Structures are given as C-alpha cells and as structure tokens.
Amino acid sequence: MGEGTTEMKDSIARNRDLLREMKEILLANVVMAAEIPSPTGGERRLSRFLSDRFTECRLSDIADDQAGNMAGVLPGRNPRRNLLLAAHTDKVWPESEDHTVSVGVGTMSGRGIADNSLGVAVLATLPLLLERLDLQFDANLILLGTSRSFGRGNLGGMRFFLENTDREIDGALCVEGIDLGRLSYSSLGMARGEIRAEDAGNTQSVDLATSGVISSLHSLIGRILEMNRSYYPESRILLGTVEAVSGFNVPPQSGRLQFEIRGTDAAQVAAIEKTVVSIAASLDAESTEVDVEVEMFAHRKPGDLGVGHPLVRKARAVLGELGVKPKVEPSISELAALLQAGIPALTLGVTKGAHRHTFRESISVDPIFDGLAQLVAVLEFMDRNGEAQS
Amino acid sequence: MSAQDRVIKKWLETNTFHHSEFWDLRELVRAKEEAGLTISLCIPTLNEEKTIGKEIIVFKSELMDRYPLVDELAVIDSGSTDRTLDIAKSYGADTYLSSDILPAQGSKPGKGENLWKAIHQLKGDVICYVDADIKNIHPKFVSGLVAPLLYREEIQYVKAFYDRPLAVSGGIRPSGGGRVTEILVRPLFSLFFPELTALMQPLSGEYAARREVLETLPFPIGYGVETSHLIDLYQAHGLAAFAQTDLDKRVHRNQSTIDLGKMSFGILQTFLNRLRHYDIVANLPEWEGLFRQIQAEGRTYDMLNHRIVEEERPPMVTLPEYQKRHGK
C-alpha cells in the first residue's frame, strides 16, 4: 500500500466504518479495563482480564511472565516475522480510588480511562476487530500488556519482555489512549529520582525550628529552578512531587522531592543528574541539622527512529488521510526501551481526551474509530513492508 | 427444627445460587437454545443518564454481540427529562416511553408501570429486569438471574441478592437485606409468610421470570411491586417456584431515611392489600394513602403529608391488546 493514495484513503474509510460496528464490544472492554484497579506493580487483575479476552479470541501462546506482562499471539500466515502491539496495563491510581466509569453521549470518563484503559481495551479487542475487517497478517502479531511502566516501575515490564523473549521483534507499536494524532518516534534521555530530607535531631537554626525540612526542600527547589533557566528548552528538570506534611503548626521532620530530568542529549541529561546529586550532597554536608540523600531509580537513553523512516512517513500519511494533524512528541515510555533495543517503533494515540491523570479523565468516543483505522493501516504497512523498515 | 424451618433450609440448599456457577456464557447460550427460550432484558428508567450508558454497553457487548444470551435489550422510560433515552439509544438499546405502550390503558407514574408494560412490549419467553442505577455493572447481573430458569423448569422467578453476610463482632449478621427489608418486610413475612423469609433481598430490583408467570400477576405500580409479586407467586406456586442468586456486590446510590419512609409506606399498603385479597386478616379499614411526616425547625413543627397510593394494574393476560399481540 502506498502513501497518500486513493487506495489508502478508501481502505481507511472502509475500515473505519466496519470498526464502528464493533463499538459496543470495544467500549465494554474500555469500561471493564477502566474499572479494574491496576496500580504500578499491582497489574495482576487487569492482566487476567486481558488473558481472558485473549483466550476467548483463541490467541496462541497466551502467557504471563515474571514481570507481570500478559502476552498473546495472533499467528501470521507466514510467521517468519513478529510484530508487537503493546499497551501498558498500569495506571497512576492506587487501588483505593473509585474507578467507576461514567458513559455519556459520545464521552466516557473515569480514573485511568485514557491512560491507559483505552489502550488495554484496544489490545483486548483487536483480534475481533481484525476478524471483522477480514484481515490476516503475514507476520505474527504479538499483543502485549506491559506491567510497571510508571514511576519506579521504570518500564520494568517492557524491558523484561525484550530481554527475555525468544522471538525477534521486527517492528512495534505502543498504544496510548490519548491523544489521536500523537506520533512519537523518538525518546528522550531521562533520569528520574527522589531527594529525601530528614531532620537529623540537631535543630539550631531559625529556619529548621520554624519550617522543618521545608526550608531545605525550598532551597533545593530554588537551585533546580535556576538550573532549568540555563538548560531549557533542550533539557529540563520536572518537579512532580514535593511533600512534607505535618499539619498547621508542627514543622515537618521529613520530606521528599520527586523529579525527572529530560533532554535530547544524553550527555547533558547525565551532567544535570550529576549536578543535582552534588547539590543534594553539598546540602547534606553543609548542614548538621538535616540529612539529605538522593535515590535515582530510572534512566532512559535518547533514541530516534528519524523523521524520514518509512514507518514515520506512513504514520504521518495515515493521519493526513484522517484529517488529523500529527503531534510529534518524544516519548519516555515503552517506546524508549524499544528504540534502545534497535526495534523500529512508534507510539500512537487512539482518541481525543482531556483531564489526564485527574478524576475527570475523559475520552471522546467518536474519534476512537479514526484511531483504530490508523492503527490498522500502520500495522498493515508494517506487515507488508518489513524490509523497508529495517 | 420446625417443618417450616426444614422447608426453608432445604430451599436455601437447592434454590440459592452464586453467579460464579454460571460464569460460562457460551454454555448458557447453549442451554437457552436447547430449552428453546428467548430472553428479553428490560431496564426501567427515570432520569438515569449517569449510569444507563454503561449498562447498555456492557450488556449489549457481552450478552448480545459476544454471547447471544439476550435476544432483546429495552429501556422503558417514565418520562426522563435528562439524556437517559438519547444515551441508551446511542449505544444500541431499544427505547420506549412507557406512556406510548398500551396507550388505551393510560399512563401512570411509577416503576411498576414500566415493568408491567414491558410484558406487553417485549417478546421474550423470559423477562429479566435490571435497575438502571447500578454503578458496578457486570454481565452477571443478567446471566446469574436467567441461568436457573434455563436449567430448572420448575423455577419461575429468580431474585438477586447482594452483600453476603459479614463476620461482625458478636457473631454473624443474619443477612444484608437492606434497611426496609430488615425492619419492615422481613418482620411482616415472618408473621404471615414465613417461608418467604428465605429470600435474602425480597426488594431487589433485579429479577428474572417466565412470561407465563409475569402475565398472570397483578402489578402495583409503585413501591410495592416486588412484594406483591412474591406474595402472589408464593400463594399460587409455593416456595419451590422461586430461586435466588448471589451477585456479590451492588454499588448504587443510597436513599435518604425520609425516602425509605415513603417506600415503606407504599410497601405496607401493598402488603395489607394482599392480606385482604387472600382473606388472611379480616376487617382492615379503608385508608386514604396519606403518609405523615413531622419536620421540626427550632420550636416550629410542620406536617409534611405525602399522598402515596399504591395503584394496581391487572394481570397482563386479561388485556385484549396483550392477548392479540402475544397470541393468547
């Protein structure tokens, strides 16, 4: 299939209409995937859901692994090649939060519905969708729900899979619920860590007596913001959590700052990490009142498939046919591990959505079928044009 | 142990199920086809836009598209002013306004009216009713209720129950029947129909029944419809006609104590009507259906009177329109 041809246009339009007929089946899977709590490291129940769906669809080689991934294979007609379609199964929400989904006209909302219940539902439904389209690939299609994507999980599921699978992966797509138009073909360098400050039990200064470790965290934040002004936009230090809690009138004795350094230049990311670690170390050394320590728990190397790669060009062309403007953004999720392993891969979004990672997280129903038609078109291209990608 | 206790104990052993016994939907579809039955699912609604979409999606996908256990999925609405019907229709349910069904019979307010009209409108040999306000919807809410009817011919009517007994300090709580059940219906059943106390949640809005039974039952259109069904069916067929299925947990909105008072008042009227109908008590006075509540604000006391009249629809099988439509 060529790029931007009438054939492609007709095929996408036809597929979109057929896929729309599967609406309730897909949306029911979204509801069920979204209502199963699946915090990082606790994905077992959602993986089981995937396994049940894979079994119902009679996939082969359905198996979980030590890392908590769940895989199933849709065998190809000429299975010398293996394509991978992956969606992370963990959500940012703890088990205790209300995971109830609400369904309105054209929208669905609930915690984790976009990130990444919709992605998981696409995996669970894809065999039926391909059946409806009467499509069978030459390559094996491995459907993989990956565990431990977020935070300290550090892409543990995808890394484990890539390190231990006995199948050579010829190409991969990562599916994220939102946003349709997302096109990631590069990954950023990243270093993620936590700085912890503890009262050493030797309070002398006014600052510590009146604000506890807040004064130390404040000083750290000031230094980090200053660094950001030097490195931005090539690199940046994102502050995601600052925590030091003890009510209104008792200075907190412990606190933490969670941060992530991102950048396109691996050397610069490493240099920034080194600086942050040394700032924390000097704070620790300078003060007898507060103990400061740093823990780094995730790293990514930058990777880039390249804007001219056939897979990227195809994905752009498909989005163009759908009338969707590509939103190119580097990724730090599963794509990073795939690119690092030398596998041609993209991350694509399925639909429009809003309020990601809030209790109001929502997705639009109608664009889902554009998103699915996009995935199918790119998979078909990967299946037919294996040589062009390598 | 009394003879009555033995009947209840035996019934609990043989006619109480857990939804997990019917997890295999493929097998249920086979059993349905073997029994030659069709199943209609009815969701009565009034302003349920928050939960109806999810129910329709889950039921249609799992019980119609994937496994054709349900042949018809209908929403029968009492005149919602929100987007209930738009949402239900957009996800593939058949939608009806209760007032458009059997127009010659007029239209009355109340959930019982929708349930009654569903018997006329829907085609299935088995009708399963599921309330629209369930937040944790799952196919088991239907499969768990219709399954006993597919496997056991003598069972006519299957009720849902939820929230199994919890271990609490000082022993085991007898049942989790809900407040109105435990302080009104269970005491009344204990006095007048002891065998019906075997039903864990006689008021649950989820149940499935055979058409030939539903069409013979009069339908109070308000709060008393479930209580009335149980008494009438029990009088006609005994406890053996019932089954109940444990559906584990049901998450729904809670009603205020004031609303539960109104509900209890409606149920009590229905109950007394049934006692009168079966000549179980003599000389019950006529009542005007006025439920009186007193509201205090400081030293001001106001009377809040609610007129709650439990009107009753006749057995559907007595209507010529029904006889014609269903070939009776």
**Domain A189-300 fold:** Alpha-Beta Plaits (3.30.70)
Q: Coil, strand or helix: which one is A66? A: coil
- pLDDT on residue B253: 65
What is the rounded CA–CA span in Å between residue A75 and residue A87?
Answer: 19
pLDDT-based confidence at residue B172 (cuts at 50, 70, 90): very low
pTM of the model: 0.83
Of how many residues is chain B composed?
A: 328
- pLDDT on residue A390: 55
- pLDDT on residue B166: 41
Give the Å distances, CA to CA, from B276 to B196, B279, B281. Answer: 18, 5, 6
- pLDDT on residue B162: 85
- Structure confidence by residue, pLDDT tens digits, B35-90: 999 999 999 999 999 899 999 999 999 999 999 999 999 999 999 999 999 999 99
- Structure confidence by residue, pLDDT tens digits, B19-36: 999 999 999 999 999 999
- pLDDT on residue B171: 44
| Interface predicted TM-score (ipTM) of this complex, two decimals | 0.77
In the predicted model, what is the mean pLDDT of chain A? 94
Q: Coil, strand or helix: which one is A201? A: coil
Residues 14-33, chain A: which have Cβ within 8 Å of B?
Answer: 23-25, 27-29, 31-32
In the structure encoding, which two tokens stand for residue A384, read together?
């037919």
Q: Please, how many CA atoms are within 13 Å of residue B239, restricted to the half-sphere of its CB?
A: 22
CA–CA–CA angle A313, A146, A53 (5° rounding): 100
Domain that holds residue B307: 3-325
Q: Which of A56, A103, A105 sits opposite B57 (nearest CB)?
A: A103
Residue of B nearest to A29 (CA): B58
In the predicted model, what is the mean pLDDT of chain B? 91
- pLDDT on residue A388: 52
The CATH number of whichever domain residue B143 belongs to comes to: 3.90.550.10
What is the rounded CA–CA span in Å between residue A234 and residue A267?
Answer: 12
In the structure encoding, which two tokens stand for residue B74, read together?
């209908």
Residue of A nearest to B251 (CA): A100
On the question of pLDDT at A389 being above 70, the answer is no
Task: Sort B154 into a burial class: Cβ within 10 Å, 0-12 / 13-18 / 19+.
Answer: exposed
Task: Sort B107 into a burial class: Cβ within 10 Å, 0-12 / 13-18 / 19+.
Answer: middle
Q: How far is B26 from chain A (nearest CA, A)?
A: 10
The residue-averaged pLDDT of B212-228 equals: 94
Taking an 8 Å cut-off on Cβ atoms, the answer to whether B58 and A102 are in contact is: no
Residue of A nearest to B58 (CA): A28
Region of poorest pLDDT, from B85-94, B119-128, B299-308 = B299-308
Strand pairing partners for A256? A196, A243
Q: Is there a contact between A214 and A356 (Cβ–Cβ < 8 Å)?
A: no
Q: Which of A351, A383, A312, A389 is nearest to A133 (CA)?
A: A383
- Structure confidence by residue, pLDDT tens digits, B242-254: 999 999 877 766 6
- pLDDT on residue B70: 98
In A, which residues are within 8 Å of B65 by CB distance?
A: 24-25
Residue type, B79: G
CA–CA–CA angle B152, B278, B319 (5° rounding): 70
**Domain A6-187+302-389 fold:** Aminopeptidase (3.40.630)
Q: Is A240 on the interface with B (CB under 8 A)?
A: no
CA–CA–CA angle B116, B69, B152 (5° rounding): 75
Nearest-Å Rg of the Cα atoms of chain A is 23
On the question of pLDDT at A104 being above 60, the answer is yes
On the question of pLDDT at A387 being above 60, the answer is no
Q: Is there a contact between A174 and A87 (Cβ–Cβ < 8 Å)?
A: yes
Domain total of chain B: 1
In A, which residues are within 8 Å of B62 by CB distance?
A: 28
Q: Is A101 on the interface with B (CB under 8 A)?
A: yes
Q: Is B90 on the interface with A (CB under 8 A)?
A: yes
What string of H, E and C letters represents the secondary structure of chain B?
Answer: CCHHHHHHHHHHHHHEEEHHHHCCHHHHHHHHHHHCCCEEEEEEECCCCCCHHHHHHHHHHHHHHHCCCCCEEEEEECCCCCCHHHHHHHCCCEEEEHHHCCHHHCCCCCHHHHHHHHHHHCCCCEEEECCCCCCCCCCHHHHHHHHHHHHCCCCCEEEEECCCCCEECCEECCCCCCHHHHHHHHHHHHHHCHHHHHCCCCCCCCEEEEHHHHCCCCEECCCCHHHHHHHHHHHHHCHHHEEEEECCCCCCCCCCHHHHHHHHHHHHHHHHHHHHHCCCCCCCCCCCCEEEEEEEECCEEEEEEEECCCCEECCHHHCHHHHHHCCC
Strand pairing partners for A143? A72, A85
Backbone angles phi, psi at A240, to 5 degrees: -105, -30
Please report, for chain A, the start and end positions of each structural domain, with discontinuous segments joined by +: 6-187+302-389, 189-300
Residue of A nearest to B50 (CA): A102
Q: Is there a contact between A201 and A208 (Cβ–Cβ < 8 Å)?
A: no
Q: Which of B57, B74, B70 is nearest to B28 (CA)?
A: B70
Q: How far is A335 from chain B (nearest CA, A)?
A: 32
Q: In the 8-state DSSP scheme, what is residue A114?
A: I
- pLDDT on residue B252: 64
